[in-house]
Chain A
Amino acid sequence: MLLNLALAQIATKLGNVQANLEKHLDYIQQAQDRKADLIVFPELSLTGYVLQDLASTVAHKPTDDDPVFKPLLKASQNLDMVVGFVDEDERHRFYIASAYLSAGRVLHIHHKVYLPTYALFDEGRFFAHGDSIRAFDTRFGRMGMLICEDFWHASPPYLLWLDGADILLFSSASPGRGLNQHDKLESAWWVENVNQSYANLFTAFIVHSNRVGYEDGLNFWGGATVFDPKGEKLANGPYYEEALTMVTLDLNQLRRTRSRLPLMRDERADIVQKELNRILSK
């Protein structure tokens, strides 16, 4: 089975949801023209990243009567998509969220669990953290979504793997930092290394969509990647430029890799559970 994937690394307008929606619809159309089955947008793709006091004003509910989600859900009749937005619950808590839309429906919503609140980051000040990490079924198999800092921690990808996800969709608004002698910033180098490692460790597809553009002095570096279950890089979007990177995932590779390397089969989650119980009960 083949999956034609489109990675949309866009620059966003900070707090201007309507302008960002129009860009989404434009990229979705381009992806559709190029026969994509699934398009993945970056973290907070509908709102911009350093929202601060804008957090509450840019929130939208992923329902078909919402003016932002209505056209997106309609477009999802033609191809699946992952979009980044600010979700608001009934108790008026605001979340950094990703929604997977397919065939006019919301298949899954992930609320970012790990909100970096250190160094240049201040997410915990403005957002509530998510409290679940779940895989979900799609027409291409079982997937999982994580947002940026979620996959700087090892446990969320591991949990998704145990929960059956074979395609992990990561989205980021990763501020570039750590300029040194190398041709990649430390932040870009780190993210690409861990993503490749996850592909190797979980014998799964690791998809990463990261935004570009600037917000005040912050730069966002783009460089979308896909690693296959062998840990090989299938695609690498350009750095610092908007792009729609197309790549075909041969999902049969999962079977071939796991026939050779049964890490999934041999994983002893029961030991993890036992030891976690011991550690947490201390």
Chain B
Amino acid sequence: MNLDISIHTDLARKILTGFIKSEVTRVGFTRAVIGLSGGIDSALSCALAAEALGPENVLAVRMPYKSSSADSLEDAEKTAARFGVLTATLEITSMVEPVIQLDPQISNVRKGNLMARARMIILYDQSEAFKGLVIGTSNKTEILLGYTTLWGDMASALNPIGDLYKTQVRQLARAMDIPQSVIDKAPSADLWQGQTDEGELGFTYEEVDKLLYLLVDRRYSVDDCIEAGFGKEFVYQVMERVRRNQFKRMLPPIAKLSNRTIGYDFLYLRDWGT
């Protein structure tokens, strides 16, 4: 199926920088904090925040673990330098290692979750220290697939790129002049050596983005997608992943008892009064 999901990057840039500026400043802040991994998602969030708030108001935090690749650190450095934002480097090894040592059987997934949550702790501490809001770096593809750590890399005060599929992130990153090495390298959570997103997921972002676009944005049924040329197994696998990970996209449900319950009939936007 010949499906073009490219976007008008100038328009996206205008809306997203306006969003960051509005949602940071209306609650009394002027600054932002971003975990800069060396990957394309956080680089794009960083570039958008720098443009929205001014680079002097953006703190990019590098949080390597001992096994993190040297390339990641270097790419994060290049991105920060390209956009002129402030930087800090805080190693998480000494935070997560004692927990890892508690269980010799600990799996890679558990280690990865520990690292993602350690980074969240640092970002929210820097948020208070720097008086800046944490800008999210999760894209639409990974949010839908649940390829994230709950309360880890999903945690943020606002997320400018969560409605962009990974391939659209790449397109906007190119338009915003993100360093080429960041754009070119294989996407990876860099939680252990040799890990790549596409290796773990079992399909490419190019493939899955088009499928998700039909399923989600265009409201295609599973059968419609198969008819459009996607493999039956692939479609069912992705649909099931999206369903199974709905919990990661929501706050925990509160058991209703009263006449007015947070989440059900106590309804206000976060921008209430601002």
Task: List chain A positions with a Cβ less than 8 A from chain B.
Answer: 11, 13-16, 50, 52-54, 176, 179-185, 213-217, 219, 239-240
Contacts and interface: CB of A to CB of B under 8 A. Distances in A.
Contacts of B14: 239-240
Given A179-B7, A179-B8, A214-B23, A240 B269 contact: no
Could you tell me the dominant secondary structure of chain A's interface residues? loop
B271 A176 contact: no
Contact of B11 (A13, A184, A217): A184
A125 B251 CA distance: 22
Contacts of A15: 272-273
Interface string B136-158: 00000000000000000000000
Contact of A181 (B7, B23, B268, B269): B7
A6 B20 CA distance: 29
A-B pairs with lowest CB-CB distance, top 7: A52-B267, A214-B22, A216-B269, A53-B267, A14-B271, A219-B15, A50-B269
Contacts of A16: 273-274
A53 B261 CA distance: 12
A116 to B, nearest CB: 17
Contacts of A216: 23, 269-271
Contacts of A219: 15, 18-19
Contacts of B4: 181
B144 to A, nearest CB: 16
* Residues of B contacting A: mostly: loop
Nearest to A213: B22
Contact of A176 (B6, B15, B268): B15
B106 interface: no
B266 A53 contact: yes
Tell me which of B8, B10, B267, B272 has the highest count of chain A C-beta atoms within 10 A of its own C-beta.
B272
B269 A215 contact: yes
Contacts of B8: 179-183
B90 interface: no
Interface string B14-40: 110011001100000000000000000
A216 B269 CA distance: 7
Given A53-B267, A214-B23, A240-B18, A14 B11 contact: no
B267 A183 contact: no
Contact of B272 (A11, A54, A184, A217): A54
A242 to B, nearest CB: 11
